[in-house]
Chains A and B, each alone.
Chain A
C-alpha cells in the first residue's frame, strides 16, 4: 500500500469540505436518506441525512453524464431558412458524485467505451470530463449484489477519482486515485489528516456467484439455446431493467417541438422494447421477448467485451431489484452456465 496516496478524513470535516466544494462551483450529488430509502440527490451542504451505509439506490448516477433526456440542439425553421443553435458546452455542470459504490464508479468505463467508440460523443465526454467521482467502499450488501462475480470488489477504486472507506470511528480512509481526486485534496488539504488505520477490515465481502471469463466463453454458440425462452417467459417487456442499469447505453433520437421551432433530443431507450428494432415495413428482427432478453445478455457479456473490450455489467443488482416479475440476472447467468445449449 503506497501510503502517500492515503489520507484520513474526519467525519466532522465533512461540512467544511462540502462547503468548499459548493463554493468552488461544484454541484454535489450524494446518497440522501428519505424514509427507509436512500436515493442520490443534489446537496449544497453536508447533513446527517447523507447515508454512507446504504446498500443500493434505485437509480444510479448515470443520468449525470448520460441524461435520461438530453437536448442536443435547438432548431428554427421556415420555408426558406433553417438554423441550428448548439447547446453551450461550457455551461455544463461541474459535478462531484459523492458516495457512490464501486459498482457504480466502474460503470463509467463501459459508458465511456461506448460513447468514445470511433465517434466521440461530445455531450457525454464533456460531462464526464467535468465530473469528479468520489466512491465509497461498501460496508453492507444484499443477495442481489454480485460485483465480485464481474471482477469488481466492494472496495475497488476503478472509475473513482477518490475512494472513501469508512472506519469504525465513522471517519474515512481516503484513497486519492487520479489527478481530479488530487485537485479535491489540494483545495482542502487542511481538512485531511494522516492515516493510522487498516483499510480492508471494514469492507463487506460479496460472495462470488460465477466466473466472468467462463461465462463469456460459455455464451459462444448459445444463440439457439433453449434457456433464453425459458428464462424470459415471465418478462413483460417493461424495460425497468434498462432504466435502472448504470451501464445501458441504448438511446433514441427524437424531435420535440413544431416544424418551426424545437429541439432534437437524445433519450434513454431499451433493447427490451418491441419497437426498438421494428422496421417501417413491419418486419422486426427481434420480434419476441425471448429474442430481446437474449440480446440484453449477449450484448453485455459477449458482444461488448468482444467489440469494445469491456463488460456491460457491474453487478449492482439494480435490474433484479427493480424487476416487477422477479427475473434475477445473476441467477439466470448461473443457469446459463449450468444448462445445455442444445435441446
Chain B
C-alpha cells in the first residue's frame, strides 16, 4: 500500500466474546487479511476506531498487550449507538478497525522501577494492556501493585484476571468497591479508590504510578499521589476525549495546543498541569 487510505478500516473477525460485567464485553479480534495482520503492530497505550457497518465508529484503546501476538482485544460498555451495535455482534462476525493511533506508555524507561497501577471502573481496559505488557516482562520491574475499584462487585471487569493477579506472588492486588457496592462475601476493600490508595500508602520511592479512571477519580487521586511523594513526572494517565478521526484532523480532541489523539492519549501529570482543563 504505497498510498494508503487513512479512513479505510481493517476488517476484523470477532474470534471470542467475553462478558465482563453488566453491559461490558471484551472482543478478541483477528485480521481477515493475513498481509495486513503481518504488517500490523502497536504498543501499549495506543487506541483505535472500531466500527459497525451502518452505525459508524467508536474510539477505544487496545486492551490486549502487544506481547500477545496474533490478535487484539477491546473492552467496551454498551452505551451509545456504535457500542450497542457492537454488543450485538457474535463470534464469527466482522467489524471494522482503524489504528493504532496515538502515543504509548514509555515502558522501556520504567525498567528497574516499582510499578503502581490505579484504575477505576471501565478504565481498567486501557490499563490492562500495559499491565499485561509489564507482567510479560516481569523481570524488568520491581514491586508490582494494582489498585482497582468499581461502583459495585458486579461492575468489576476482567474478574478472571483479577483472580489470576491476586494469586500471583509477584503482584499485589488491592480491589475495592464503593460503599454500598459490596456483596456479603466481598473480601476486598470498601471505599473510593483515592481513599483506599491513601490508606494503602504505597511508597513513592523509585515508583511509577499509572492512573486511569473517570474524571472524578483522577481529580482526587493525583493530589493523594503527590501527598505520598510522587513527582508529577512519574505519574502517567491516559485521556479519553471524544474523537472521530484519530489522526489530528477532525478537531474534536484538541485541548490547548495538544491533540489528544496525536500527542496523547498518554500524558504525565506534569504535562496535564500545563493543559487547559478542557478534557
Interface residues of A (CB under 8 A from B): 72-73, 75, 77, 79-84, 86, 114-115, 117-123, 223, 249-255, 257-260, 262, 264, 266, 269, 271, 276-281, 283, 285-286, 291, 295, 298-299, 302-303, 306-307
Contacts and interface: CB of A to CB of B under 8 A. Distances in A.
Given A251-B251, A252-B244, 19 more contacts: A73-B5, A79-B93, A82-B96, A119-B248, A120-B3, A249-B251, A253-B56, A253-B250, A255-B55, A262-B54, A264-B51, A280-B242, A285-B241, A295-B278, A298-B256, A303-B254, A303-B256, A306-B257, A307-B257
Given A84-B11, A255-B53, A291-B278, A250 B257 contact: no
13 contacts: A73-B7, A77-B53, A84-B11, A118-B262, A122-B3, A251-B245, A255-B56, A259-B53, A271-B254, A276-B252, A279-B242, A295-B278, A307-B259
Contact of A73 (B8, B244, B279): B8
A277 B240 CA distance: 11
Ranked nearest first, the 7 interchain pairs of A and B with the lowest CB-CB distance are A250-B251, A82-B94, A119-B247, A259-B54, A77-B53, A285-B278, A72-B7
Interface of B: 3-9, 11, 51-57, 79-80, 83, 85, 92-94, 96, 214-215, 240-242, 244-245, 247-252, 254-257, 259, 262, 276, 278-279
A120 B1 CA distance: 13
A254 B215 CA distance: 27
A122 B257 contact: no
Given A262-B53, A285-B279, A303-B254, A253 B245 contact: yes
Contacts of B278: 285-286, 291, 295
Given A119-B247, A269-B251, A278-B242, A255 B6 contact: no
A221 B53 CA distance: 44
Contacts of B11: 82-84
B267 to A, nearest CB: 14
B56 A302 contact: no
Tell me what chain B mostly uses at the interface: helix, strand, loop, or mixed: loop
Contacts of B57: 253
A272 to B, nearest CB: 11
Contacts of A278: 242
Contacts of B56: 253-255, 264
A299 B249 CA distance: 12
B244 A122 contact: no
A286 to B, nearest CB: 6
B250 A252 contact: yes
A121 B6 contact: yes
Contacts of A79: 92-93
Contacts of B96: 82
Contacts of B252: 250, 276-277
B251 A121 contact: no
Contact of B54 (A84, A255, A280, A286): A255
A122 B6 contact: yes
Contact of B214 (A75, A271, A281): A281
Contacts of B255: 285
Contacts of A123: 7
B213 to A, nearest CB: 12
Given A252-B244, A285-B278, A80 B250 contact: no
B249 A251 contact: yes
Interface centre among A115, A120, A264 (most CB of B within 10 A): A264
Nearest to B262: A118
B241 A277 contact: yes
Contacts of A277: 241-242, 252
A191 to B, nearest CB: 36
A59 B189 CA distance: 61
A11 B270 CA distance: 63
